[in-house]
Structure 1
Amino acid sequence: MSEALRPRPPINADNRFYFDALDAGTVCAQCCDACGEFRHPPVPMCPRCHSLEWSPREMPGEGELVSFVVMHHPVRPPFEDGYIVALVEFPEGPRMVMNLEGIAEDDVKIGMTLRVAAEAVDDELTLPVARPIT
């Protein structure tokens, strides 16, 4: 029997740059070329100035935990009971949802600084993952 894989995200013209950057080992967000507004998830038009011109910008390797949830039900492979899903805010402003690993549920604190990196979850999928800075 084969191992269960994580569900695949839908990849399209608006977000392909994001997944290509993850495959290359970096975490990127869209930045409006007209007004400098960062945004995530990727969308075709800047919500601030309505420009259609944007560039991908690499995010720093650290962010702040602004919210989290611990998933207990329903659990099915490849996920395990009690995995932590975090909302991480980068200094530039965009927020991204990702798994938080390497910490017990009771030790998670809003406002903690996290290291963020692109990590392969299997042979075909790379996603951002947050870990506490020790």
Structure 2
Amino acid sequence: MNFGKTTPILRIFDEAKAKEFYVGYLGFSIDWTHCFEEGTPLYMQVSRGGCVLHLSEHHGDACPGSSMRIETDAIEAFHAELAAKPYRHMRPGIEDTPWGSKDVCVIDPFGNRLTFTNAIST
């Protein structure tokens, strides 16, 4: 039995704030957006490299305050990239964990925690 790639769904409440954070600050690209009609909740996919996230304004899709870990082989470069951006709501550091990885934790405007880590799964 095989299982495929996981795509987390994160709850968002404001399209402009989501784009400012995920695209402007974290450097993700918008792959596609969907609304059933004008004035209805947004559902969109953003990605950066192999990391794909779904962001949803739909009430039943996800709970705000979710938490996830995202692996990267360039944690120091990613941290430097974030530090160079004038995003006034977030100034993350690099945390050396007791198990030997380095983590950069950010919290989106909707309370979702994304921990970027150099702890690579095998």
Asked if Structure 1 and Structure 2 have the same fold, meaning a TM-score greater than 0.5 normalized by the shorter chain, the answer is no
User: Counting strand residues as a fraction of each chain, which structure ranks higher?
Assistant: 1
Larger radius of gyration: 1
